[in-house]
Amino acid sequence: MDTEILARIQFAFTVAFHYIYPPLSIGLGLLMVIFEGLYLKTGHKHYEVLTRFWLKIFAITFGIGVATGIIMEFEFGTNWSVYSKYVGDIFGSALAAEGLFAFGLESTFLGILIFGWNRVSPKVHFISTVGVFLGSMFSAVWIVVANSWQQTPAGYHIIGEGLNARAEVTDFWAMVFNPSSVDRIIHVWQGAFLAGAFLVLSVHAYYLLKGRYVEISKKAFKIALAVATVISLTQLISGHSSADGVAENQPAKLAAMEGHYEASSPADLYLFGWVNNETQEVTGIKLPGGLSFLVHQDFEAPITGLNAFPKEDQPGQVNAVFQFYHIMISIGMFLIALTLYASYLWWRGSLFNKKWVLKIFAFSVLLPQIANQVGWFAAEMGRQPWVVYGHLRTDEAFSQEVSSNQILFSLILFFVVYAILFLLFLYSLNKKIKQGPYEEAKKNLQLA
Amino acid sequence: METFLGIDYPTLWYLVVGLLFSGYAILEGFDYGAGAWHLFFRKDLSRRIAINAIGPLWDANQVWLIIGGGALFAGFPVMYATMLSAMYIPFMLFLMMLVLRSAAIKFRSAEPMPWWRKTWDITYFVSNVAISFLLGVVLGNILLGFEIGPNFEYTGGIFFSFLSPYALMVGFTTLFIFMTQGAIFLLLKTEGRLHTRLTFLLKKGMIFFIISFAITSLYTLIFIPGVTDKFKENPIFFILPLLAFLAVANVPRLVSKRNYAQALIFSSLTMSFLLMLVAFQLYPVLLPSTLDPNYSVTIYNAASSQKSLGIMLTIVVIGAPLLALYFLFLYKTFYGKVKLDDTSY
């Protein structure tokens, strides 16, 4: 296999694996802030137990997130050296800010969060929880800013030519607030909140179904349900706004998302379908003119199609982009329906009597995770053949001096090590869930 | 070119990067070094205490690697890209070992089964040794120079060329320096049986440190071309090797007097002086080319724009004091001997 493909597979694999964890940390962080805040406010033992229980799971998630994140930082240099030289000037300030303001905050306070229960006052501990949570939110900001700049570059100019060409910052704030960053940061945060909230919902739904830890689980379930309902609804707004941005700034990506080929004509909105890139036909269930309506509030408005771009500037995997995008949307819609219905039951007072609803929640933990993954797949594959949209092609950006055998070597190592890591993650998650929330509290009592 | 206090921006950023890497060496030096002793402790409890000595600190210490790497990417993208792609295999091994090390810390004491703990103890030991060694090997390679052609293109070997005798020697020296640092740190954090054992181990270990340090110094003077030229031009900088030598000599003295707090300071100073020595010797080169000095990566041809460096320097001026505050708070909270409790690993 050639170096470019291997480098892409390795990057995709390592970043997709990494992206299981940080969203969970951000989402669990939010819930821990709520649990611990309620504990400080009410002094109720239940909230302390919940905080301690979820802190243990948070610690594992965070740890794997950091370990796999360091690899991402260095993989830019090892496998994408042309890209690194091209974007270094732009990413530099974003990365420096991420490291100093965000990562420094979360990693130092993490020690106090996990090991400090018996060493600092409850208030200081709560401040540390908030610090770690904010740190992880800021981290997401800078990383998404950097990626958004690749989607919609702004505040820069290009100097040099050929191998020595690179982008330089001309306006820091224009670079930070490039056309897509705000929409995408909010969208990513919300995806992360959903990942965390649904893990909490799933675990406590499981306890409720088993009839274990009922009182405490009802409390946790209601809090997480409130978060999940609000976020899945508002996710629709940031998603729509994000898609509007894609329509304006990356028309080729939008066209690929809906399999729209004709250079300029009204575009349909598919519920689901299958794209044949050869015949340029989509088979599926659609709302005619739906995409035109969503973008221009007019069913007849023309939308730029893939054929408006030269072949070499079109995303190669149209069907994949289409499918990933639609899976994300379908999951989003399902989560809205599910959380709204559950909230209705809550209001009616019959939420915890409906076993089948709890069962769905117990399994739904996977859905936000899948949506987060496929959303990124659609965003990144839809940007192809560019790594920096309109400027640097992916097939020019990888490290030419690295051989395919070297990448094969590291790729196999990654598969092995990450498989071990993933098994350990599932194993310890399962163990903590089986032990239940009172195990941590009990340990503490024994010592006291 | 814009300057601040008469120093140009690339040089300032060179200092920032140097500072970050010396912070990384000092802090993770005791983390990795402590881990490189792991199998020398016999009792399960001793091993658990040793891991928990760095327990609340290592995640924070790791920030220095992340910021250091980021600072290199940000300020000298060409250096970052050329070095990492040329040193592909050692860096991939280094990264993999970092992941395994994190896993070992988190999962070792999670289960009581002896086979489980033994597997993780070995993983933990091997990863710490390998990380320390590989860092030294990379440093050795930088001192030797790379086969860099026009346009910063690396033309050297790809699989095992990083394993030259000199680089291996620097690797061993780095490992022994870290182990000295780690043992002194553990002596500060432990008491009783483990403390006694460490006193004994450190005494033996320091011999390796002194010998490898002496060999590497001689090797450098004899085999690295032009290593003394800079010092002949600026005799004032002879103070650096002198200080490094004094710091090295002071460590065994303080250890034998059981003054571990000061010993830790002087072993940290040793690392800083040695890195300063390297930095001064290379400046303004970042990666020497062995093909033609004109192809070398320097802080000027590798640097980001003045504008970008200016922004990053501003970020550092605001961010560094904040980070220092977090660290003070963290180290103050966990000051003193290790006490295992329900939150420990």
pLDDT at A448: 36
pLDDT of residue A440: 58
The reported pLDDT for the residue numbered A420 is: 93
For residue A238, which phi and psi values (nearest 5 degrees)?
Answer: -65, -30
pLDDT for the residue numbered A234: 94
Between A66, A77, A101, which is nearest B73 by CB? Answer: A77
> Bigger pLDDT: A368 or B252?
A368
Task: Provide the sign of the torsion angle of the four alpha carbons A184, A51, A105, B32, taken in this order.
Answer: negative
Which pLDDT value is given to residue A284? Answer: 85
Give the pLDDT score at A32: 95
CA A392 – CA A295 distance, rounded (Å): 28
Name residues 160-189 of chain A within 8 A of B (Cβ): 163-164, 166, 168-170, 172
Whether the CB-CB separation of A418 and A23 falls below 8 Å is answered with: no
Which B-chain residues 156-175 have CB contacts (< 8 A) with chain A? Answer: 158-159
* CB contact A74 to B (< 8 Å): yes
Residue type, position A296, single letter: H
Tell me the C-alpha to C-alpha distance, in Å, between residue B124 and each of A9, A159, B33, B103, B278: 29, 46, 11, 9, 30
Q: Do B56 and A115 touch (CB under 8 A)?
A: yes
Q: Does B81 touch chain A (CB under 8 A)?
A: yes
DSSP string, A254-271: HHHHHT--SSEEE--EEE
Residue A157's H or E segment, with its range, is strand A156-159
- Is 0.95 topped by the overall pTM? no
Contact A110, B59 (CB under 8 A): yes
Partner-chain contact B99 A119, CB within 8 Å: no
Write out pLDDT tens, residues B122-134: 999 999 999 999 9
Which one has a higher pLDDT value, B235 or B259?
B259
What's the rounded Cα separation, in Å, for the pair B53 and B40? Answer: 16
Give pLDDT, residue B245. Answer: 86
User: Cβ separation of A66 and B59 shorter than 8 Å?
Assistant: yes
> Comparing C-alpha atoms, which of B147, B156, B169 is closest to residue B222?
B169
**In terms of DSSP bridges, do strands A392-393 and A166-169 run parallel, antiparallel, or are they unpaired?**
unpaired
Chain B positions touching A90 (Cβ under 8 A) are 308
- The pLDDT tens digits of the residues spanning B63-89 come to 899 888 888 998 999 999 899 988 999
What tokens appear for B188 in the block? Answer: 């500060």
Report the Cα A237 to chain-centroid distance in Å.
17
Tell me whether A96 touches chain B (CB under 8 Å): yes
Chain A, window 416-445: residues with a beta carbon less than 8 angstroms from a chain B beta carbon: 417, 420-421, 424, 428, 431, 440, 443-444
User: What's the mean pLDDT in B169-196?
Assistant: 91
Which regions of chain A are under pLDDT 70?
1, 440-448
Q: Which two tokens stand for residue A362?
A: 């117990």
Beta-carbon contacts of residue B198 (< 8 Å; ≥ 6 apart)? B37, B183, B186, B187, B190
B311-322 pLDDT per residue, tens: 888 888 888 888
Compute how many other C-beta atoms are within 10 angstroms of the C-beta atom of residue B262.
15
